[in-house]
C-alpha cells in the first residue's frame, strides 16, 4: 500500500470542446499536467461537432485549479470539476 501525499484530492474533470480546432492547445495543457492525471477518456461527437474529455485526477487544489483554469480560459471550451472532500 502506497503513501498518500498530504493535501492531494481525487476528482473528476469534465471538458466539453465546442471548437475541435482547439484540440492541440488543450492537449498541450493536459501534457503539462500529466503528473496529476490518473486516467483520461475522450469521445468525439462528429454529428454535433464537439468532443468530450473526462479526466480522473489526483492533485492539490492549486494544481487542479491551475489546470482547469487554463482549460476554461480557452474560447469554446467548458470545464467542470468535482473533487473529493477527503485529502
Query: Which of 21, 6, 39 lies closest to 75, judged by CA?
Result: 21
**Residue position matching grid coordinates 482547439:** 22
The answer to whether 57 touches 35, Cβ cutoff 8 Å, is: no
Whether 25 is covered by a domain: the verdict is yes
Whether 86 is covered by a domain: the verdict is no
Tell me the average pLDDT across 7-33.
Answer: 95
Residue 1's pLDDT is what?
A: 46
- Average pLDDT score, the chain: 92
Whether 36 is covered by a domain: the verdict is yes
Whether 55 is covered by a domain: the verdict is yes
pTM recorded for the entire structure: 0.88
Whether 15 is covered by a domain: the verdict is no
The answer to whether 23 touches 61, Cβ cutoff 8 Å, is: no
Neighbours of 36 (CB within 10 A): 19
Which segment of 5-9, 11-15, 21-25, 44-48 scores lowest on mean pLDDT? 5-9
Report d(CA 17, CA 5) in Å as an integer. Answer: 32
Domain containing 26 equals 21-80
Domain count, the chain: 1
4 pLDDT tier (thresholds 50, 70, 90) = low
Amino acid at each position: 500500500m502506497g503513501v498518500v501525499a498530504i493535501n492531494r484530492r481525487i476528482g473528476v474533470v469534465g471538458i466539453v470542446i465546442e471548437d475541435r480546432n482547439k484540440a492541440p492547445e488543450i492537449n498541450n495543457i493536459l501534457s503539462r499536467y500529466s503528473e496529476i492525471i490518473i486516467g483520461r477518456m475522450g469521445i468525439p461527437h462528429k454529428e454535433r461537432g464537439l468532443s468530450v474529455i473526462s479526466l480522473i485526477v489526483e492533485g492539490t487544489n492549486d494544481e487542479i485549479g491551475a489546470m482547469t483554469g487554463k482549460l476554461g480560459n480557452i474560447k469554446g471550451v467548458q470545464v467542470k470539476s468535482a473533487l473529493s472532500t477527503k485529502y
